């Protein structure tokens, strides 16, 4: 589904030097797979996601989605950002309908689908609210519904729950898995929380500190559907979390 | 005290009454012809406002102001937005703006009169210049501050760069643009009057200076009151419109409003 081939990204810094953010990343993600990208802050994990989204060009290497090279953003890859990035001048309904109308859907169909999605993310009754009237968790639900609305086959989630409090965060993780279980979209999920990555993912890709290289890819063999309350007392879950935490603490990576 | 300020419209009324009282008192104390008492000046208001020629002059001024203002918005908003989203456009326009911004637009009036004469065109152009600069500046700032991720979200929906400028950058920058437009409105009024003082032919500024030349000081003061009231009405009207247009915005762009707020 997604194939990342020998991808590197260098940025020009303010001092005129070049900073290597990502180095030689190769990764294949299968259709319907949930893959998390985990790493310390500044390792370029978000940049990797932006390159897959076509928002940022790579310095070298390529991204292919279903065989076609990525040259820019497209409705096959729907982003969800930590900052929500809702359109503040549009209501909840207006935000969720936006992409559908942009794709040329008739108004009636767009509205019906948007209303169904708003109900799915538990925001029925908030259709006519503006983003500023919503809490962080509600905003992110709107953002997810807005992206799901235009039917991307791939979801690119950039620390989507990073700005939420712990309680809202775990709630949102459950909701995301419920949504994902319905139609199993391909998900690339950037996070710096090990628990979150293990709870959600089929595979967890751990990046090294800057420049980001792939340090290890762990397959998470936990049965689905997953329930947090059950996993917390599950030895296998604990082992995954501990193993990956250790990997991230590894002092060797400082030299890497 | 706090209870008094809660009565809407009362504090500004008290302020206005206080100003009039101070004026009346000063006129009686100093007793000079250049400062007629407030009641004498206010008595001239209905005279001016029922005189057909004066009314035509006032409407004439307002018409030029509206035209200059409208052209300025149509020009300044796109320029400001493009500057905010394109480094090249910003690099091109920025030095020009920095030179023109501090120049009083009325100071350009003599040159403009050489080109375009003393009629409508010169005065409208000066109003246009006066309004354009703050609007460009605020549209530029507003466009620069638009969250990149918002544009990316739109791009992922299939929106091209031009559509993003008009349908994402413009509404996102609207609260900031409105701050510039409000400054522009005040400047429109100022440049309207000053342009008529320099190129005297018709308009409110002409009434003012004719009265001054003929030592009709009550009329001079009454005209100033009319200009002030005009500004007040425009500003209050604009605040209503602004509150309606950007009600969705976070209150970061709240600006001190004349009137009850």
Output the pLDDT for position B4. 65
What homologous superfamily does CATH list for B35-245?
MetI-like (1.10.3720.10)
Q: Do B156 and A79 touch (CB under 8 A)?
A: yes
CA gap B63, B58 in Å, rounded: 9
For residues B116 and B123, the answer to whether their CB atoms sit within 8 Å is no
Give the minimum alpha-carbon distance from A246 to chain B in angstroms, rounded to a whole number. 33
- Residue among A148, A150, A154 at smallest CA distance from A30: A154
Q: What is the pLDDT of residues A199-248, one digit of tens each?
A: 999 999 999 987 899 999 999 999 999 998 899 999 999 999 999 999 88
Spell out the alpha helix ranges (H) of A103-156. 107-120, 136-149
A85/B152 CB distance under 8 A:
yes
Q: Quick one: CA dihedral A218, A222, A227, A229, positive or negative? A: negative
Is pLDDT above 80 for B182?
yes
Dihedral over Cα of A151, A152, A157, A163: its sign: negative
What ipTM was predicted for this assembly? 0.93
B191 to B99, B125, B128, B174: CA distances (angstroms): 18, 10, 9, 24
- The count of other CB atoms within 10 Å of the CB of residue B183 is 18
pLDDT, tens digit, 9 for 90 and up, residues B121-163: 999 999 999 999 999 999 999 999 999 999 999 999 999 999 9
- Measured between alpha carbons, how far is B10 from B233 in angstroms, rounded to an integer? 17
Tens digit of each residue's pLDDT (9 = 90 or more) over B20-65 = 999 999 999 998 888 999 999 999 999 999 999 899 999 999 999 9
**Cα(B53)–Cα(B204) distance, integer angstroms:** 11
Q: Name every residue whose Cβ is closer than 8 Å to that of residue A53 and which is 6 or more positions away in sequence.
A: A73, A77, A79, A156, B152, B156
Token duo for residue B75 = 């020009």
Cβ of A79 within 8 Å of Cβ of B171? The answer is: no
Helix axes A136-149, A92-102, angle to 10 degrees: 20
Q: Do A75 and B156 touch (CB under 8 A)?
A: yes
- Both tokens of B9, joined, read 């419209």
Q: What is the pTM of this model?
A: 0.88
A133: contact with B, CB 8 A cutoff: no
What is the C-alpha separation between B48 and B56, in angstroms, rounded? 11
């Amino acid at each position: 589904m997604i194939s990342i081939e020998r991808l590197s990204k260098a940025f020009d810094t303010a001092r005129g030097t070049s900073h290597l953010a990502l180095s030689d990343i190769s990764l294949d993600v299968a259709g319907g797979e949930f893959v998390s990208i985990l790493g310390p802050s500044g390792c370029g994990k978000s940049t990797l996601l932006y390159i897959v989204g076509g928002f940022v060009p790579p310095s070298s290497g390529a991204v292919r989605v279903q065989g076609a090279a990525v040259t820019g953003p497209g409705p096959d890859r729907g982003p969800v950002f930590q900052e929500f990035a809702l359109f503040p001048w549009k209501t909840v309904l207006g935000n969720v309908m936006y992409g559908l109308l942009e794709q040329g859907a008739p108004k009636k169909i767009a509205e019906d689908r948007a209303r169904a999605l708003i109900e799915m993310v538990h925001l029925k009754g908030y259709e006519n609210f503006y983003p500023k009237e919503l809490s962080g968790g509600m905003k992110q639900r709107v953002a997810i519904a807005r992206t799901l609305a235009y039917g991307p086959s791939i979801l690119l989630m950039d620390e989507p729950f990073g700005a939420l409090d712990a309680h809202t965060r775990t709630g949102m993780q459950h909701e995301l898995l419920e949504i994902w279980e319905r139609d199993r979209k391909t998900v690339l999920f950037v996070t710096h929380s090990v628990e979150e990555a293990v709870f959600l993912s089929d595979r967890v890709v751990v990046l090294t500190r800057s420049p980001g290289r792939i340090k290890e890819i762990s397959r998470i063999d936990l049965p689905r559907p997953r329930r947090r309350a059950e996993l917390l007392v599950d030895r296998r879950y604990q082992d995954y979390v501990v193993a990956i935490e250790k990997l991230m603490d590894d002092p060797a990576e400082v030299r890497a | 005290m706090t209870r008094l300020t809660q009565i809407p419209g009362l504090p500004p009324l008290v302020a206005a009454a206080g100003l009039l009282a101070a004026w009346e008192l000063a006129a009686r104390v100093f007793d000079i012809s250049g400062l007629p008492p407030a009641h004498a000046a206010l008595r001239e208001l209905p005279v001016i406002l029922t005189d057909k020629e004066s009314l035509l002059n006032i409407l004439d001024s307002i018409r030029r102001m509206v035209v200059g203002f409208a052209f300025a918005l149509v020009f300044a908003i796109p320029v400001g937005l493009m500057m905010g989203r394109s480094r090249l456009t910003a690099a091109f326009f920025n030095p020009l703006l920095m030179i023109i911004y501090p120049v009083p637009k009325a100071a350009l009036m003599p040159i403009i009169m050489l080109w375009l004469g003393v009629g409508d065109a010169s005065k409208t152009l000066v109003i246009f210049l006066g309004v354009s600069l703050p609007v460009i500046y605020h549209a530029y700032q507003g466009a620069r501050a638009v969250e990149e991720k918002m544009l990316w979200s739109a791009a992922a929906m299939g929106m091209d760069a031009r559509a993003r400028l008009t349908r994402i950058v413009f509404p996102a920058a609207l609260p900031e643009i409105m701050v510039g437009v409000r400054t522009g409105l005040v400047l429109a009024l100022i440049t309207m009057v000053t342009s008529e003082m320099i190129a005297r032919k018709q308009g409110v500024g002409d009434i003012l200076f004719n009265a001054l030349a003929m030592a009709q000081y009550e009329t001079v003061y009454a005209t100033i009151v009319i200009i002030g009231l005009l500004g007040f009405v425009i500003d209050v009207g604009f605040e209503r419109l602004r509150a309606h247009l950007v009600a969705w915005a976070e209150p970061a762009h709240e600006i001190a409003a004349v009137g009850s707020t």
